[in-house]
Amino acid sequence: MSIPGKKFGALRADVNVSHTDGWREKTAYDRLSTNLRWDYAPSGNTVLKTILGYTKIDQETGANSALTPFEYNNTPTVNARPVAFRKVDALRLSTNIDHYIGENELISITPYFRNNKLDLNGSYNFSTGATSDPRIEKSDVTSLGVLTKWRKDFPNALRARVIVGFDYDYSPGKRTEDAISFAAPGCTVAGTAVSIQKFNCYTVEPRIYDYDVTYQSASPYFHTEFSPVEKLRVTAAVRYDSISYDMTNNLAAGDLVNGTKHYWQNASSSQSFSKVSPKLGVNFALTPVTHVYASYKQGFRAPSESNLFRAGHDSTLDRGRTKATDFLQLKPIKADQYEVGLRGDAKGWSYDLTAYSLRKRDDILNQRDALNQITISSNNGSTKHQGVELGIGTAFTEKLRLDLAYSYAKHTYESWVTNQFTGANNTGKDVESAPNQFGNTRLTWTPAKGTTTQIEWVKMGSYWLDAANTGKYAGHQLWNLRASHEITKGVSVSGRIMNLADKRYADSAGGTGAAPTLSPGLPRTVFAGVQAAW
């Protein structure tokens, strides 16, 4: 719904209410989301955009629970983790203020507020035995921040543009975790050669984590663009990120025991990280419609609060303490990316061809050390990702258009030793769950104004099930159909059929070559909708 107005600007409201029982057992999903947007220009050179959004989700998350190949092919609606759930409550508010100073200068300020609550019983934690760590996780994070920038164009000086900005985020939050057990009678059904282990109920056990943590980040940056010659555009930027965590443990420091599991509690502590990240790019116009470009950029990702302060358990006090202490030593993951490409138009075809190389250093891996055989998280991993991406499209007529996208990539462990004691080493192997091919083709027909039909072909290539590369998922190809029609101004109907050929495929696959597991994707599914705007 939109309400225009000259005096008070324009207001737009969007509401989405969704419910599905899910196509697999116990996989219901309920969502309520609403967005309000207010655009207001108090003067000719100042524009305000305010967005208020709220989302509430209640989901039974077993829709992606894995099955054995037999179940996948014969009883795909079975859900082996019906007690898994995810509940989300999210509120966000922001106001973007753009103030123009003449034609070539802009000051932009965007203060924001966010609150995110999560209640999660993750199906990926469901297991039994000494190393299992099932739990119910709750988090509540409030964020206050501001994005600021000053932009100035210099049309008579190399057509230069300068942007100076500063981003700040202050996010106090809380995490609690309660262990759960599947030991009660009937809570588990043992797996067999043809069926996976089932988890039907649980009991709540003692609290294993309870801490408050405040995240802060301050990031000044500088960005410039200029043209030393008419056909060449150069972009250069640098950003400095300063990140800190202040953790207050609400549980007593020391050994927390739950059965045979020792969750060492670190005392309240602080961690901080900083990094300077440069970026450089060039774009050269070979012709008015053909451009060649290249870029280099650095990136980094600091450890999350759970990486640092939630180490999990081990079998003894000393092992648990060593593990929790080592988690506090984690460093940011660093990345370097190079890219070169060509884009343009030729005889009615638009195209964009890109080749890239990405290397990640100090990646976080779970590693069993040689000294005491404790599994810890460490910055001892590095991976390399190289590939090409191609997008092309053309309009055969005013009513018929074809678009194609294809990517081929190689994802490799450059250094990935997971067990120093036994020598388990995945260095040189392909990264698991990383397909080397993706393809997408869309043929769109617009027979009349307001009416559109599209047929889509999607291809996903094969990928390894595990880091040791013992088995593969073969990949899949799907067909989808979409259509929409405007009945009257502001009222339209739409529909889509996903997986038109009703093909069995996996949303994800894992396990090993000897014992693969697969999460079945949607069968043929029909969606219909009515959209109204006023």
Tracing tokens 């989301």 back to the chain, one arrives at 33
pTM of the prediction?
0.91
What are 15's strand-pairing partners?
A: 34
Instruction: Output the DSSP codes for 407-455.
Output: EEEEEEEEE-EEETTTTEE-TTSBPTT--SEEEEEEEEEEEETTEEEEE
**How far apart, in whole angstroms, are the C-alpha atoms of residue 459 and residue 440?**
6
Element (H, E) at 23: none
Residues, the chain = 534
**How far apart, in whole angstroms, are the C-alpha atoms of residue 201 and residue 81?**
9
Q: Are 483 and 495 in contact (CB under 8 A)?
A: yes
Q: What is the sign of the dihedral through the CA atoms of 445, 451, 457 and 458?
A: positive
Q: Are 190 and 200 in contact (CB under 8 A)?
A: no
Q: Are 383 and 412 in contact (CB under 8 A)?
A: yes
Question: Residue 365: what pLDDT?
Answer: 81
Q: Are 511 and 504 in contact (CB under 8 A)?
A: no
List the one residue out of 375, 436, 337 whose CA is nearest residue 133. Answer: 375
**How far apart, in whole angstroms, are the C-alpha atoms of residue 515 and residue 274?**
43
Q: Are 423 and 447 in contact (CB under 8 A)?
A: no
Question: Residue 372: what pLDDT?
Answer: 52
Q: How many CB atoms lie within 10 A of CB 314?
A: 23
**How far apart, in whole angstroms, are the C-alpha atoms of residue 466 and residue 206?**
33
List the one residue out of 330, 334, 76, 82 whose CA is nearest residue 195. Answer: 76
Q: What is the sign of the dihedral through the CA atoms of 441, 445, 450 and 451?
A: negative
Exposure string over 158-197, b if 16+ CB within 10 A, otherwise e: eebbebebebbbebebbbbbbbbebeeeebbeeeeeebbb
List the one residue out of 327, 332, 328 whose CA is nearest residue 303. Answer: 332
Question: Residue 367: what pLDDT?
Answer: 61
**How far apart, in whole angstroms, are the C-alpha atoms of residue 367 and residue 418?**
4
**How far apart, in whole angstroms, are the C-alpha atoms of residue 37 and residue 126?**
41
Walk along the chain (534 residues) in steps of 10 and give the mean pLDDT of each run. Answer: 65 92 96 97 94 98 92 96 98 98 96 99 91 96 99 96 99 98 94 93 97 98 98 98 98 96 96 97 97 97 95 92 92 97 96 98 75 68 97 97 98 86 82 97 96 98 95 98 93 96 96 94 94 76
List the structure tokens of 244.
């800190």
Q: Tell me the three state secondary structure of residue 57.
A: strand
**How far apart, in whole angstroms, are the C-alpha atoms of residue 322 and residue 315?**
11
HSE at residue 437, side-chain half, CA atoms within 13 A, is 12
According to DSSP H, which parts of 234-316 are helical?
Answer: 305-309
Question: Residue 368: what pLDDT?
Answer: 61
What are 149's strand-pairing partners?
A: 108, 165
List the structure tokens of 224.
């410039």
Q: Are 431 and 413 in contact (CB under 8 A)?
A: yes
Q: Are 418 and 365 in contact (CB under 8 A)?
A: yes
**How far apart, in whole angstroms, are the C-alpha atoms of residue 35 and residue 502?**
35
For the chain, how big is the Rg over CA atoms in Å? 27
